Chain A
């Protein structure tokens, strides 16, 4: 159990440091990279809490897809970092005040819970042969199947809406018509003219 705790603190510390780095890094690309590191460490923590499915999904979806998209956007927009960072010191007191408020609220909640006495009794490992993925799937595809299907419909709708609003046929755009190119015959393009040999004069 000690080894487990050490691992937890190591990964938690790396995650904390990386999260700070996201905010304080001067280069937005570095920020994105550090965010990837944060997500990865969060995934490891989930793995240690035996939530394997969530951990893998976090890496696959967030690190694999969302953060790559982020990186594209950051590189494409070429954000002026200096201008964005200028407000940091100005807004810092405000941010710290909100963070402190949240800490106080959390402490209060924990204190209240400890007074009542029904604190969650530590981490209980799952029994042998328990599959996190199976448990999640069995709820998702039975109890919540209706909501799950509607969510899929919403995604389809979002695709259609996005295409409706953005796809346009620009006039004067030079596009290859593959079917026409393939369907072309030699006789459409060149005319072979039979001629008698010219007499040498």
Chain B
């Protein structure tokens, strides 16, 4: 192997090197000048994105003896992850300063999480996938517990940690069965082994597969493995929830697509059924329980579960069209989620976190611009045309119809209608209720600008969705 071959993994190596630089530099930065760490992290993200662009592969490149793959899917997902981590950092900056949480470790753990996501997105073997997942999960556990004087944070971190460890164990157990049956941990070899010997497609492999599905459903937050999600979304400080709700969803998509499609594509009939059950339950539970919530973070947590149902149903189709719809849905959902949590972060002030739906009362009177932005985001999540969420849902529904499941398509339309209720409720609170607190939202110019761009993006993308959809189809063909 030539040393130049390793160049395909340059983005990960660059990011790791930059993390070390930020880590050392942060030691010498005093608390009141912590914003330097923020800018250093942002520069690191920019350099990583530049290296990603520079090493963009023309074809599928597999290095490190088959443990690392670089293709157009990993490229798109990684660029998305870098972008959303940067958004999370920017929205978090002022909040952390105002709430006495201004520690450099927030950015450091965030960067480590990004590294884990990138490893997952480029994983070509079950071992690499697992290690990437652990890197991501460990930083998420620590981030959720970041505010260690806060009892709710500690409780949710503990839940997240214990349940996450059990899910990792299930995943690892499934991996060992897959390895035992097929004799390999590399996705293309597993695929080849199953297509070469159809007798492998039998009970032992399905047993391992079931455990993999448990792990995937947990990491995605699919019912019935969703228990951690609302508690963690509510318990973590809002910038952490923002981080948790955005980029890691892309990594979860990579986990699902790489394992189920790249590795176990030959078992589509078997895992399709399992994924469908998880997806249908997620759609129902997520959307129905969200109606009863009074806490906005918890409500968005349940709504995430509902959205995960859509993504999983798109993957369930097992067609290239379905996979493209899943990628499109995830990317656009994450844009809206980042924006929505961004508004919540922005509304929180020193010592007071926006938690309740009623905190949105009369936002229009206080800051009409941000009320409008939040309305865009809620419309997009609800799936109202011409916002991007509408096209994402439409794609999934048409993919499911094309795969020949009209019943599921009807179900998706029904839950979308149910889901619209609680998204519109937020808009009702913002526009038709009286505010108790008349203070205008304060934000620094760059946050204000980026948040506005983020929110307008859901409208702009909705008006011209063609290029993104074409990109998704191109990536997964």
Contacts and interface: CB of A to CB of B under 8 A. Distances in A.
A147 B67 contact: yes
Shortest 5 CB-CB distances between A and B: which pairs?
A: A161-B142, A146-B64, A164-B105, A150-B131, A143-B65
Contacts of A26: none
A157 interface: yes
Given A154-B131, A154-B134, 15 more contacts: A142-B65, A144-B65, A145-B64, A146-B68, A147-B127, A147-B128, A150-B132, A151-B131, A153-B16, A153-B112, A154-B135, A160-B112, A163-B105, A164-B142, A168-B148
Interface of A: 142-147, 150-151, 153-154, 157-158, 160-161, 163-165, 168
Contacts of A145: 64
Nearest to A161: B142
A160 B131 contact: no
A157 B65 contact: no
Interface residues of B, number: 27
B141 interface: yes
Contact of A164 (B65, B109, B119): B109
B138 A154 contact: yes
Contacts of A142: 65
B141 A161 contact: yes
Interface string B101-119: 0010100110010010001
Contact of B139 (A146, A150, A151, A157): A157
B44 to A, nearest CB: 15
B47 to A, nearest CB: 18
Given A146-B68, A151-B131, A158-B138, A165 B148 contact: yes
Nearest to B1: A142
Nearest to B125: A147
Interface of B: 9, 16, 23, 64-65, 67-68, 103, 105, 108-109, 112, 115, 119, 127-128, 131-132, 134-135, 138-139, 141-142, 145-146, 148
Contacts of A146: 9, 64, 67-68, 128
Contacts of B109: 157, 160-161, 164
A63 to B, nearest CB: 27
Contacts of B139: 157, 161
8 contacts: A146-B67, A160-B23, A160-B142, A161-B109, A161-B142, A164-B103, A164-B146, A165-B148
Given A143-B65, A160-B105, A150 B146 contact: no
For chain B, what secondary structure do more than half of its interface residues adopt (helix, strand, loop), or is it mixed?
helix
Contacts of B115: 153
Which of A144, A150, A160 has the most CB atoms of chain B within a 10 A radius of its CB? Answer: A150
Contacts of A153: 16, 112, 115, 135
Contacts of B16: 153
Contacts of B64: 145-146
A77 B141 CA distance: 26
Contacts of A144: 65, 67, 127
A157 B112 contact: yes
A153 B13 CA distance: 11
A165 B103 CA distance: 11
A199 to B, nearest CB: 57
B131 A147 contact: yes
A146 B141 CA distance: 24
B138 A161 contact: yes
B142 A150 contact: no
Contacts of B142: 160-161, 164-165
Contact of A157 (B103, B128, B138, B145): B138
A164 B119 CA distance: 23
A139 to B, nearest CB: 10
Contacts of B131: 147, 150-151, 154
A179 to B, nearest CB: 14
A143 B127 CA distance: 12
Contacts of A143: 65
B183 to A, nearest CB: 15
A108 to B, nearest CB: 16
A157 B141 contact: no
B227 to A, nearest CB: 23
A164 B109 CA distance: 9
Nearest to A162: B142
A166 to B, nearest CB: 8
Nearest to A152: B16
Nearest to A147: B127
Contacts of B134: 154
Nearest to B185: A147
Nearest to A169: B31
Which of A146, A158, A161, A164 has the most CB atoms of chain B within a 10 A radius of its CB? Answer: A146
